[in-house]
Amino acid sequence: EPEVTQTPSHQVTQMGQEVILRCVPISNHLYFYWYRQILGQKVEFLVSFYNNEISEKSEIFDDQFSVERPDGSNFTLKIRSTKLEDSAMYFCASSDAGDKPEETQYFGPGTRLLVL
């Protein structure tokens, strides 16, 4: 069964450093997403990406964040200058957004980011 994969599984970084989180969405999917979950809090939407551009972003997704689809398979989230409060589990998701209104997002296993 196809699945979303994410690397690395864990990332420890110093405050102010740049990190890149990587995702390989399910191959025939067209929509890609990043979410995060801070410990003890809800899963929160960050950004969605379709047709090589951002289709929607939340207020969390400020200028420190960027996304890219550098090739036909990878989807990346970059945090330019990490803050302590960026420590969270980051989940990538993808969906096959066809013409039907019901479209299920499938999630990867997550990257645990710890900013020291």
Partner 1 sequence: DQQVKQNSPSLSVQEGRISILNCDYTNSMFDYFLWYKKYPAEGPTFLISISSIKDKNEDGRFTVFLNKSAKHLSLHIVPSQPGDSAVYFCAASEGSGSRLTFGEGTQLTVNP
Name the site residues for partner 1 (rule: CB under 8 A). Answer: 4, 6, 31, 33, 35, 42-45, 48, 50, 55-56, 58, 91, 93, 95, 97-110, 112
- Name the 3-class secondary structure at 85: helix
- Name the 3-class secondary structure at 86: helix
Considering the complex, what minimum distance in angstroms separates the CB of residue 40 from partner 1?
Answer: 10
Considering the complex, what minimum distance in angstroms separates the CB of residue 99 from partner 1?
Answer: 8
**CA separation (Å) from 6 to 16, 20, 73?**
23, 11, 12
Considering the complex, what minimum distance in angstroms separates the CB of residue 16 from partner 1?
Answer: 27
For 84, which DSSP code?
Answer: G
CB 93 within 8 A of CB 107: yes
